[in-house]
């Protein structure tokens, strides 16, 4: 499956700069391991 990073970035609400930005699969896994939610899923 092709990475949709550029498309994902259009909908990303995270203001932080990290290497996972736009790579939602890595972002979700990272926050799951930390026990937190990705920025886009927080209220
Ligand atoms: S939500 Fe967290 S992991 Fe995802 S792009 Fe923002 S700082 Fe990075």
**Structure confidence at residue 15 (pLDDT):** 96
**Ligand 1 in contact with 15 (CB < 6 A)?**
no
**Structure confidence at residue 37 (pLDDT):** 98
Q: Closest ligand 1 atom to the C-alpha of 15?
A: 6
Average pLDDT per block of 10 residues along the chain, 43 residues long: 96 96 98 98 94
**Structure confidence at residue 4 (pLDDT):** 97
**Structure confidence at residue 35 (pLDDT):** 98
**Ligand 1 in contact with 20 (CB < 6 A)?**
yes
Euclidean distance between CA atoms 34 and 8, whole angstroms: 22
CA of 5 to the centre of ligand 1 (A): 13
CB 18 within 8 A of CB 38: no
∠ CA(11), CA(15), CA(18), 5° rounding? 95
Report pTM. Answer: 0.89
**Structure confidence at residue 11 (pLDDT):** 95
């Amino acid at each position: 499956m092709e990475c949709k990073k550029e498309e994902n970035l259009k909908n990303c609400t995270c203001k932080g700069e990290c290497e996972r930005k736009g790579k939602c699969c890595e972002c979700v896994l990272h926050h799951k391991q930390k026990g937190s939610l990705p920025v886009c899923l927080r209220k």
